[in-house]
């Protein structure tokens, strides 16, 4: 899969960074939002250590942007999410959920406010472009909804701050967690935000000209040389340690925010109106039936993430499923996120997990598994 012409026709798009990632050693690709994403540079464990000890550069062009502009853009973006956006400043970002009329989660993007009526939703893996265009149809709101030519990179890890200073100058240090700024790097138009998907210090660099992808990638790799920067990919190990969600794995259209403990992203008591408000009120009133928990699995070191949902059993009865599991070489534990029956969701509870033909004992523990207050990323 690593020759320059691999692929199944043009049906799946290549990223503007594709050639650079292949050159720098990408050995496996997945598909996300109809595009190839590098997911393997040889060893996921090495990638994890690179991330937490120095820094990695990740091609996340697959995080497609939905751009919302027009005189009613603010009103419309508020309709799309249960999070109260009334205090979202220009230049600020927020992690939000997109819910449907039943309160089910359609995506968990980062929302960027570029101007009074100019927003980007930086997407997880689903066609929110279509959802938003559909929702706008009879809304009576004057908005324009498109996918712009924008392709993000993630620069993540403890030395990412120094690399950013080298690229953009000292003033980048003022950029606060979940804020954004516009830059131009030797003629390459960019938006930079202090966000990511690693729970480490990190930045997202949104390229606004797809023809300059490889040029940008090489420039950053060059600047990062002296700071130990390595080419990499978003780390399943680190994001599970951090209890971060992977859409379709840990959440889907049949998952509601309360099941994930994301009550802070649902402002039911505010005056705002949004799609799913009535349904979410009802769900909150009636109480949830399932809840996401963290588990430690008592078994041999897992060789990779689970590729199917492993059933969780209590006294021979299925009470839930493992959504994401991985071995953390730092914690020296097999850790997992699971969605289980609320009646069994207390810390310390023990279950059996059926991983293919293997029976594994597991115990509910606190999550996130590492740095629960996100101090590393948000300082």
Q: Can residue 285 be called a binding residue for a copy of itself (CB under 8 A)?
A: no
Dist CA 3 CA 102 (whole Å)? 44
Q: Can residue 132 be called a binding residue for a copy of itself (CB under 8 A)?
A: yes
Work out which of 67, 125, 200, 215 binds a copy of itself, going by CB under 8 A: 125
Work out which of 46, 176, 225, 248 binds a copy of itself, going by CB under 8 A: 248
Judged by CB under 8 A, the chain residues 304 through 343 that form the site for a copy of itself are: 304-309, 323-324
Number of Cβ within 10 Å of residue 252's Cβ equals 14
- Both tokens of residue 318? 């299925």
Work out which of 20, 65, 69, 246 binds a copy of itself, going by CB under 8 A: 246
CB 75 within 8 Å of CB 170: no
Dist CA 60 CA 152 (whole Å)? 6
Q: Can residue 133 be called a binding residue for a copy of itself (CB under 8 A)?
A: yes
Judged by CB under 8 A, the chain residues 80 through 119 that form the site for a copy of itself are: 100-101, 106
Phi–psi pair at 282, nearest 5 degrees? -65, -45
- Cβ closest to a copy of itself, residue 5 vs residue 285: 5
Stretch that binds a copy of itself, among 67-75, 248-256, 311-319, 367-375 (CB under 8 A): 248-256
Q: What contacts 307, CB < 8 A, 6 or more positions away?
A: none
Map 250-311 to HEC letters. Answer: CECCCCCHHHHCCHHHCCCCCCCCCCCHHHHHHHHHHCCCEEEEEEEEECCCCCCCCCCCEE
Q: Can residue 75 be called a binding residue for a copy of itself (CB under 8 A)?
A: no
The CB-of-273 to a copy of itself minimum distance in angstroms stands at 12
Q: Can residue 10 be called a binding residue for a copy of itself (CB under 8 A)?
A: yes
Dist CA 111 CA 245 (whole Å)? 16
List residues binding a copy of itself (CB under 8 A).
1, 5-14, 30-32, 34, 39, 100-101, 106, 125-139, 147, 236, 246-249, 253, 275, 303-309, 323-324, 356
């Amino acid at each position: 899969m690593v020759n320059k012409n691999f692929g199944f026709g043009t049906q799946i798009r290549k990223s503007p960074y594709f050639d650079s990632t292949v050159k720098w050693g990408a050995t496996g690709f997945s598909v996300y939002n109809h595009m190839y994403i590098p997911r393997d540079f040889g060893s996921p464990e090495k990638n994890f250590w690179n991330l937490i000890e120095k820094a990695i550069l990740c091609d996340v062009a697959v995080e497609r942007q939905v751009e919302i502009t027009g005189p009613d853009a603010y009103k419309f973006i508020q309709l799309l999410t249960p999070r109260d956006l009334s205090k979202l400043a220009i230049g600020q970002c927020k992690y939000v959920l997109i819910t449907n009329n039943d309160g089910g989660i359609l995506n968990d993007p980062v929302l960027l406010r570029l101007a009074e009526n100019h927003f980007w939703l930086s997407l997880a893996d689903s066609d929110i472009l279509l959802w938003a265009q559909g929702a706008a149809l009879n809304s009576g709101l004057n908005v324009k909804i498109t996918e712009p030519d924008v392709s993000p990179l993630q620069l993540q890890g403890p030395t990412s701050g120094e690399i950013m200073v080298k690229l953009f100058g000292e003033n980048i240090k003022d950029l606060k967690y979940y804020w954004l700024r516009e830059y131009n790097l030797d003629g390459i138009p960019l938006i930079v935000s202090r966000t990511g998907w690693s729970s480490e210090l990190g930045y997202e660099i949104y390229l606004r000209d797809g023809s300059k992808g490889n040029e940008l990638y090489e420039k950053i790799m060059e600047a990062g040389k002296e700071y130990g920067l390595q080419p990499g990919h978003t780390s399943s190990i680190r994001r599970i340690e951090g209890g971060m969600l992977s859409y379709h794995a840990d959440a889907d259209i049949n998952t509601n925010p309360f099941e994930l403990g994301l009550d802070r992203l649902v402002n039911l008591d505010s005056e705002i109106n949004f799609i799913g408000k009535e349904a979410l009120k009802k769900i909150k009133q009636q109480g949830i039936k399932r809840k996401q928990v963290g588990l430690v699995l008592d078994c041999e070191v897992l060789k990779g993430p689970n590729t199917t949902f492993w059933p969780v059993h209590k006294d021979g009865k299925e009470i839930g499923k493992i959504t994401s599991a991985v071995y953390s070489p730092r914690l020296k534990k097999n850790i997992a996120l699971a969605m289980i029956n609320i009646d069994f969701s207390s810390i310390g509870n023990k279950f059996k997990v059926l991983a293919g033909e293997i029976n594994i004992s597991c115990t509910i523990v606190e999550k996130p598994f590492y740095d629960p207050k996100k101090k590393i990323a948000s300082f």
